[in-house]
Amino acid sequence: MKIEPIGLVTLAIGLICLALDYRAAAVIFVVSTLFGSAAAVLIGSANIQPAHLFLAFITAVALTRSREVVATFKAVTPPQPGFWLACLLFYGLISAFVLPRLLAGATEIVPLGTSEYPDTGTTVPLGPVSSNLTQSIYMTADVLCFAMIVAIASTRAGFDAITRALIAYAAANVFFAALDLVTYNTGTQAVLEFMRNAQYTLHNEEEINGLKRIVGSFTEASAFARSALGAFAFTGTLWLCGRHPVWTGPLALASFLLVVLSTSSTGLAGAPVVLMLLFITAVQYTLRHGRPQSGATVLLGPPVAVIAVLLLLVNSEALATVLDYINVVVLNKSNTSSGIERASWNTTGLQNFVDSWGFGVGLGTSRTSGQVFALLSNVGVLGTFFYCMFLLSAFVKQRGTPGSYPTDVRIAARNACVGLFVGDLLVSSTVDQGLFFYILAGLASAEPERDTEDAEAYV
């Protein structure tokens, strides 16, 4: 085991947070999920990221408060969303250690981790792989993260702290994207080596048609674009609702531009979905509450979009540039070697689902490209059912008073999760969706209105 410099910093900040207010720890934890290319601790070939290390500290801080302890356990009891997520974890843990052995050799898999067979770049017979353990750990961390965020956000002060932390996350994401571009163009990439030390394959110096693929603090452009989509949806929704507009408006615009410029097919495919979601949110909010930002978006959004399209159509050179960019990044993606490889993963994943009689081949066993394929191939019908019930109970259930601050924030968190989910549908190779997704899901599920300690009502 080796503790990296960024790990020492994480440990130091974590120890300080033990003596500080739990809200400070929550803010640092949320922002730390940005460091997707960093390893705080190296254990063999396994990486423990700063956010996963800091999760231990925020858990220790939160559980020193009796109300957070109660709220944590309540978050995973039926019919709460955390109950279904815990069911997914329970089945996932069993499947990870039973199914690869019980069904050994019953089908061919594209192994997510290291198997007993030589790595030839093709399929191998079903059997245990190293990622059965690592994915089990990650999913356990996801459930703990979700429960902790629900518990912290169950108080009004905690809810506001998590909300502001996510705004800070969006700001830091923009900052690291700018730093990525500046260091690449000035040849000073060594400045970022402190957070690019994970034992992953890093794609931080790639270009498409002369454009730098923006990775920010992540390992590749698709991971950055996914993060920026979530930040765009969250800050964009808050701006439409008139919440923290001085910060959320500029951050939403910057995040959207970075998604477009990221050269990621994930970002470009997801951006129209998020834009449509934001427009629908603006229409609903205008009809119910009439905020200036949402009203202006409803009135000016369609004309501005039409004018932009017309300007492109009359400028053949600009139109050719845009179409060429879309063609290279999105439309031709399926014809590239990467696209063909990912399609073959999904074909194999579906065959795994069939060959395992719908049980799946075990959490963390099979590599796919898309959340649906990952669920079906790894945890089968039962695991997919638990996951769908989690989504329905977390994002569909009506909570609070429409137009109130908590409800607006919950809508923003839900929209952000949709933005992340769009990316996961396209490229996710695992059932695990990362801590950032479950932070947002936890915020979307929290109900600080039930907090009776502070008599002041949200408006």
Structural domain boundaries enclosing 411: 2-450
| 3-state helix/strand/coil string of 259-280 | HHHCCCHHHHHHHHHHHHHHHH
Count the domains in the chain.
1
Predicted pLDDT at 125? 92
Q: Is residue 8 part of a domain?
A: yes
Please, which residues bridge with residue 47 across strands?
42
Dist CA 198 CA 46 (whole Å): 9
Whole-number pLDDT of residue 139? 95
The per-residue pLDDT for range 255-308, each reduced to its tens digit, is: 999 998 888 888 888 898 999 999 999 998 888 876 788 888 888 888 888 887
pLDDT tens sequence across 226-244: 999 999 999 999 999 999 9
DSSP structural state of residue 457: P
pLDDT, tens digit, 9 for 90 and up, residues 379-412 = 999 999 999 999 999 998 888 888 899 999 999 9
For residues 136 and 144, is the Cβ–Cβ distance under 8 A? no
Question: Is residue 456 situated within a structural domain?
Answer: no
Which stretches of the chain drop beneath a pLDDT of 70?
45, 290, 312, 316, 318-319, 321-323, 325-338, 451-459
Give a yes or no: residue 406 inside a domain.
Answer: yes
Predicted local distance difference test score (pLDDT) of residue 456: 46
pTM: predicted TM-score of the whole model, two decimal places: 0.92
| pLDDT score recorded for residue 455 | 42
In this predicted structure, what is the pLDDT of residue 323?
67
pLDDT at 457: 47
Q: Is residue 455 part of a domain?
A: no
* Residue 67 neighbours by CB under 8 Å, 6+ apart: 154, 155, 453
CA–CA dist 28, 417 (Å, integer):
20
Kindly state whether residue 302 falls inside one of the protein's structural domains. yes
459 inside domain: no
In a domain, 324, yes or no: yes
